[in-house]
Amino acid sequence: MIIDGRKIAREINAKSKQRVATLKARQVTPGIAVILVGNDPASRIYTRTKHRLAQKLGIASTLYHFPADVDQATVLRQVRRLNQDDQVDAILVQEPLPGQLNNEEIVNAIDPAKDVDGLHPLNLGRLFAKQGGHYPVACTPRGIMDLLDRYQVPLEGANVVIVGRSLLVGKPMLALLNNRNATVTFVGRHTKNRSELTRQADILIVAAGVPSLIKASDIKVGSTVIDVGINRLSSGKLVGDVDYISVLPKARLITPVPGGVGPMTVAALMSQAIDLAEWRRAAGQYLVG
């Protein structure tokens, strides 16, 4: 069975639109601020996709576009200004940033209550610690959890293998699945027996950024395969990290690329921006430190 990310994303977006309308009736318009540096073509496309969806849902979206050679102090000043701006509920710094910028310092400067990407270490730590209360979580893993739940994939006691250990996908994915009592194996470039490990996975999540890294021989019959990769081939074709055609008949559930995880990430981002707007206004519910 093919997981229809577009359909579920549409449902989430429809709900987001209603939630924005409810907030607007209370004179609140959720606001997203996006910081984009330079002219990376993929980043510009992602940024535009987010901006258009925000507008469609009634979320105020502002883009702060800096030249590629902007200095650290300028970006930090912008982040701090957005932290103070009561119209802004969600701050997003589009990665990758050019080399002269200190990514870590910029992420750490974002108000954790406005950290819509869930990348601030305080939010990541709360997730990893399985703390209670409200805090944002990285949007791609959040979207994947939604997919797994909608398709009723059992998580407790399931053997999950995550290929790719990035801060934006692999690490929060590990935390979310561990918090649901899955048994998680975390696989990276240095793993010696990757195929042996992936073949044991009831649920395989691949976020490696390598076209067709996972073949049919790397998966377990009847498993659930979530492909986070979006790679553009020289032919122009978009493919995932999973060799879709060969894996499809062996998997029980699989996400296509495009139309799987991608639309869920943007839907989760918007949904979480609305969460942040609601949480910030429910005084005392968001406790940091």
- Per annotation, catalytic residue among 78, 94, 114, 241: 94
Which residue lies nearer to a copy of itself by CB, 139 or 267? 139
Bridge-based pairing state of the strands 183-187 and 159-163: parallel
Question: Are the CB atoms for 270 and 10 separated by under 8 Å?
Answer: no
Q: Which residues bind a copy of itself (CB under 8 A)?
A: 104-105, 108-109, 112, 119-126, 128-129, 131-132, 156-157, 159, 165, 167, 171, 174-175, 178, 181-193, 197, 287-289
Smallest gap, in angstroms, from Cβ of residue 187 to a copy of itself?
A: 6
Which residue lies nearer to a copy of itself by CB, 31 or 112? 112
Decide if 200 is catalytic.
no
Would you give the distance in Å from CA 119 to the centre of its chain? 10
What length is written for the chain? 289
- Per annotation, catalytic residue among 111, 117, 241, 243: 117
State yes or no: 230 annotated in a binding site: yes
Q: Which two tokens stand for residue 262?
A: 């991608």
Smallest gap, in angstroms, from Cβ of residue 203 to a copy of itself?
A: 13
CA atoms within 13 A on the CB side of 186: 13
Which residue lies nearer to a copy of itself by CB, 174 or 239? 174
Smallest gap, in angstroms, from Cβ of residue 146 to a copy of itself?
A: 21
DSSP per position, 51-107: HHHHHHHT-EEEEEEE-TT--HHHHHHHHHHHHH-TT--EEEEPSPPPTTS-HHHHH
Q: Which residue, among 116, 147, 112, has the nearest Cα to 227 in the 3D structure?
A: 147
Between the CA of residue 227 and those of 44, 56, 123, 233, what are the distances in Å?
22, 27, 25, 16
Decide if 7 is catalytic.
no
Smallest gap, in angstroms, from Cβ of residue 157 to a copy of itself?
A: 5
Going by the DSSP 8-state scheme, the letter that residue 280 receives in this structure is H
State yes or no: 195 annotated in a binding site: no
- The Cα diameter of the chain in Å comes to 56
Smallest gap, in angstroms, from Cβ of residue 173 to a copy of itself?
A: 12
Count other Cβ atoms within 10 Å, centred on residue 23.
Answer: 19
Question: Are the CB atoms for 264 and 98 separated by under 8 Å?
Answer: no
Which residue lies nearer to a copy of itself by CB, 49 or 183? 183
Which residue lies nearer to a copy of itself by CB, 69 or 105? 105
User: Pseudo-torsion of CA 195, 199, 201, 205, nearest 10°?
Assistant: 50
Which residue lies nearer to a copy of itself by CB, 135 or 244? 135
Decide if 117 is catalytic.
yes
- From CA 207, how far away is CA 219, in angstroms rounded? 15
Smallest gap, in angstroms, from Cβ of residue 208 to a copy of itself?
A: 14
Question: Which of the residues are catalytic?
Answer: 50, 94, 117
Per the annotation, binding residues are 164-166, 230
From the annotation, which residues make up the binding site for NADP(+)? 164-166, 230
